[in-house]
């Protein structure tokens, strides 16, 4: 067992906030609140994300900045990504860097050093990775992460519709009952192997899995097959995943998973067609985060009773 285990920390934060919601920080320019000050998009994004962090920090355990939206803002946007990571840490949040890297050798080591290595607050608590290159693309992140108490989430069963084009390869036919040889199950088995050397006090390793809410049957299957793997569950809300769907990815004690919601929380103002400035929009994000937490908590509790 490693000291300062990343998913022990995440579990503790989930218990403290009584929430299993991860707020995705995806600053999509088309969804940003009106720029009433004429500051330009970069400063608008910066100020709004700080407002959102202030609004949600005491009601959720985790945030997940998606680096692509920051890179789209240019070099200053890339710098802003690390500023937001540091700001989230100052507020006591667990931070998942959604970088989806997947390379080998010194390249992977460079990514790992850049995203998991720093001690100035800019390193995330976990990163998302693509497993297509096998353990060669994962090991450098584990080496850096284990030295620093940080983890990884590896893509297993993703929420997008076309994921099945690759992830279902090897399946005997349609349906979960025919998926014994499916690639996503092979990836899941590898995650259990890769994380076996570093399990925390809660029994989970430092190698998590990304398991989409839009595939609830597969999510339930993977939950049974991966007892030591923490799940990051995207696809809730805007992509169609429901609270009942994501409840199937939690363990028997109601833990072991964190559910990501991005647009439905950060841009809740858009859904409600309300404005009133960034501060009011941040208040709506807080309300949406609380509502999401309550919906998931109720679904997990109902599933435990049903069992």
CB 227 within 8 A of CB 203: yes
Residue 154 forms beta bridges with which residues? 129, 209
Query: Closest by alpha carbon to 2, among 113, 110, 151?
Result: 151
Please tell me the distance from the alpha carbon of residue 257 to that of residue 231, in angstroms, as a whole number: 5
Q: How many CA atoms, within 13 angstroms, populate the side-chain half-sphere of residue 148?
A: 24
Q: Is the dihedral of CA 112, 117, 118, 122 positive or negative?
A: positive
Please tell me the distance from the alpha carbon of residue 6 to that of residue 146, in angstroms, as a whole number: 9
Query: Closest by alpha carbon to 197, among 250, 139, 126, 284?
Result: 139
Please tell me the distance from the alpha carbon of residue 241 to that of residue 235, in angstroms, as a whole number: 5
Phi then psi for residue 276, to 5 deg, are 90, 15
100 labelled catalytic: yes
Q: Give whole-number Cα distances, 233 to 55, 138, 256, 290, in Å.
A: 22, 20, 11, 17
Active-site residue, from 64, 100, 139, 270: 100
Q: Scan for tokens 């009011």, then name that residue.
A: 280
CB 265 within 8 A of CB 285: yes
Q: Give whole-number Cα distances, 263 to 2, 62, 86, 242, in Å.
A: 35, 15, 22, 15
List residues with catalytic annotation.
100
């Amino acid at each position: 067992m490693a000291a300062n285990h990343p998913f022990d920390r995440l579990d503790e934060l989930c218990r403290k906030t009584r929430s299993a919601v991860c707020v995705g920080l995806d600053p999509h320019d088309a969804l940003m609140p009106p720029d009433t000050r004429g500051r330009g998009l970069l400063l608008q994004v910066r100020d709004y994300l700080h407002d959102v962090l202030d609004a949600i920090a005491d009601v959720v355990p985790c945030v997940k900045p998606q680096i692509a939206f920051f890179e789209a803002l240019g070099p200053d946007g890339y710098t802003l990504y690390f500023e937001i990571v540091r700001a989230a840490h100052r507020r006591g949040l667990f931070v998942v860097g959604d970088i989806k890297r997947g390379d080998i050798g010194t390249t992977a080591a460079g990514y790992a050093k850049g995203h998991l290595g720093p001690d100035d607050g800019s390193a995330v608590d976990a990163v998302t990775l693509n497993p297509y290159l096998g353990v060669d693309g994962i090991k450098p992140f584990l080496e850096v992460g284990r030295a620093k108490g940080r983890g990884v989430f590896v893509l297993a069963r993703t929420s997008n519709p076309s994921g099945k084009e690759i992830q279902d390869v090897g399946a005997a036919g349609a349906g979960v009952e025919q998926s014994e040889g499916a690639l996503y199950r092979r990836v899941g088995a590898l995650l259990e192997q890769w994380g076996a050397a570093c399990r925390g006090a809660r029994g989970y390793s430092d190698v998590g899995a990304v398991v989409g809410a839009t595939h609830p049957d597969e999510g339930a299957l993977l939950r049974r097959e991966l007892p030591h793997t923490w799940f990051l569950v995207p696809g809730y809300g805007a992509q169609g995943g429901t609270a009942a769907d994501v409840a199937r990815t939690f363990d028997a004690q109601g833990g072991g998973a964190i559910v990501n919601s991005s647009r439905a929380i950060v841009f809740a103002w858009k859904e409600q067609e309300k404005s009133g400035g960034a501060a009011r929009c941040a208040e709506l994000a807080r309300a949406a985060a609380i509502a999401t937490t309550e919906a998931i908590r109720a679904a997990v509790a109902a599933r435990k009773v049903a069992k």
